[in-house]
């Protein structure tokens, strides 16, 4: 009998974990700590710690240049950036977005009283299926939100055409995608506005942080106000707003990370290539690649486990890796539509099932990358994956009596 997904078919490798120190997905890159500390020291000396400080302003300016847009508003995290953006844009009713993303994309809409309606994905890219999104647009829809999943640009041209067709604004949750290029153009400058994340687990981090990027002068002005209690710099309060401001300490880290973006992408790319070489002979395990016309930041290294070809399921591979002290993630299983609170009200959120979201979600594993993992460790990790798959396949064949 074939083993079921999640059934512990493996008690292999055993003994002492192969990696004495845990390898994490999301281990922060800390580029030039002395420069970060020097910048923080400057903020302490100036006694200007938050609210439109010079480090935040410089970070905003550099981000706008990176994305090739006129306006950037830095925030304390990307979730708040999305909320502030959705509020400033006056969204109501429903918004169509992909289910296959981190829960923050959906939660931030719900938090603003907007209903996320989940589209399925193109299984080949993991990004939104634009034709499915088209079928979900109704008179209640007030926007479309795309996600550049794993840093791989969404189908920007098709989404732009869809949004224009229906006269809707198009936003991108670009939490994973600073530094990625779509057809040669930097992510951050597409649609009506985009949002970056600088959480510690992102390859460019600010401890915590986010940013709204846009070329829309009026929207930028509204975002700036909403993120500062409803007032512009030095103005009286005239609108409803919140406090979403970035601190100088976070900007010190963000600026320093950003100065090292090219070399951090080079590290990620080298890691990605090393995984590709190391996993080349492992049956049923493939590395997810971006589209050939895109140049990505390789924020995540994602493999896919094809249970039929590997002879072992994704959950068993992930569990075996954890026993070896490799703390992987299954980004973004099971999809927002299968997560509370959305799964409790499917009629409102999704035409169920979303077969491609569910199928891909059961096959993917994010592996450690960034400066926290060495090339030798990647070689060893690939060897461990090969061993897991070989032994898992043997167990399965023995059970099936073949």
Residue ranges in contact with ligand T4K by CB under 6 A: 24-28, 77-79, 101-102, 104-105, 147, 173, 175-176, 197, 199-201, 210, 327, 329, 331
Question: Rounded to the nearest whole angstrom, what is the least distance from the CB of residue 236 to ligand T4K in the complex?
Answer: 30
20 or 167: CB nearest ligand T4K: 20
The total of other beta-carbon atoms located within 10 Å of residue 333's CB is 20
CB of 201 to ligand T4K, least distance (A): 5
In whole angstroms, the minimum distance from the beta carbon of 27 to ligand T4K comes to: 4
Quote the least distance from Cβ 391 to ligand T4K, whole Å.
26
Instruction: Output the residue with the shortest Cβ distance to ligand T4K.
Output: 26
Backbone angles phi, psi at 310, to 5 degrees: -80, -25
Of 102 and 190, which CB lies nearer to ligand T4K in the complex structure? 102
Q: Are 75 and 227 in contact (CB under 8 A)?
A: yes
* Rounded-to-integer distance, Cα 18 and Cα 4, Å: 26
Residue with Cβ nearer ligand T4K (172 or 275):
172
Helix (H) or strand (E) holding 258: helix 248-259
Nearer to ligand T4K, 313 or 370 (CB): 370
DSSP secondary structure code for residue 313 in this structure:
-
Instruction: Give kind and range of the element (H or E) at residue 97.
Output: strand 94-98
The CB-of-364 to ligand T4K minimum distance in angstroms stands at 13
Instruction: Report the 10 Å Cβ neighbour count for 127.
Output: 25
Of residues 150 and 392, the one with the C-beta less far from ligand T4K: 150
Cβ distance to ligand T4K smaller for residue 78 or 136: 78
CB of 77: closest distance to ligand T4K in angstroms?
A: 4
In whole angstroms, give the CA distance from residue 10 to residue 314: 12
Q: How many CA within 13 A on the CB side of residue 112?
A: 30
């Amino acid at each position: 009998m074939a083993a079921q997904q999640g059934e512990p078919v493996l008690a292999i490798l055993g003994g002492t974990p192969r990696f004495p120190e845990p390898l994490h997905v999301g281990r922060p890159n800390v580029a030039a700590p002395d420069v970060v500390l020097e910048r923080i020291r400057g903020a302490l000396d100036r006694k200007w710690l938050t609210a439109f400080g010079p480090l935040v302003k410089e970070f905003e300016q550099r981000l706008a240049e990176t994305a090739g847009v006129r306006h950037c508003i830095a925030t304390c995290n990307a979730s708040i950036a999305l909320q502030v953006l959705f509020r400033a844009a006056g969204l109501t009713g429903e918004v169509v977005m992909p289910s296959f993303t981190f829960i923050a994309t959906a939660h931030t809409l719900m938090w603003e009283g907007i209903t996320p309606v989940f589209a399925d994905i193109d299984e080949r890219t993991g990004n939104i299926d634009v034709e499915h999104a088209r079928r979900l647009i109704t008179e209640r829809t007030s926007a479309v939100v795309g996600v550049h999943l794993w840093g791989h640009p969404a189908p920007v041209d098709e989404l732009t055409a869809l949004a224009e067709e229906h006269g809707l604004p198009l936003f991108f949750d670009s939490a994973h995608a600073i530094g990625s290029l779509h057809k040669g153009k930097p992510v951050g400058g597409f649609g009506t506005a985009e949002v970056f994340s600088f959480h510690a687990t992102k390859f460019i981090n600010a401890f915590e942080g986010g940013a709204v990027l846009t070329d829309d002068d009026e929207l930028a002005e509204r975002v700036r106000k909403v993120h500062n209690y409803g007032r512009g710099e030095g103005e009286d309060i005239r609108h409803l707003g919140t406090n979403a401001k970035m601190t100088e300490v976070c900007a010190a880290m963000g600026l320093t990370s950003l100065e090292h973006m090219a070399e951090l992408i080079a590290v990620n790319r080298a890691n990605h290539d090393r995984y590709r070489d190391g996993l080349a002979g492992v049956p049923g395990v493939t590395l997810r690649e971006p589209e050939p016309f895109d140049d990505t930041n390789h924020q995540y290294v994602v493999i896919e486990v094809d249970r039929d070809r590997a002879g072992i399921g994704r959950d068993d591979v992930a569990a075996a890796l954890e026993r070896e002290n490799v703390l992987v993630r299954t980004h973004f299983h099971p999809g927002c539509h299968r997560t509370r609170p959305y799964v409790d009200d499917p009629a409102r959120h999704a035409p169920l099932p979303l077969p491609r979201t569910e199928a891909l979600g059961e096959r993917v594993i994010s592996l450690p990358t960034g400066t926290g993992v060495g090339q030798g460790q990647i070689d060893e990790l690939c060897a461990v994956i090969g061993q897991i798959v070989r032994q898992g396949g043997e167990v399965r064949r023995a059970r099936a009596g073949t």
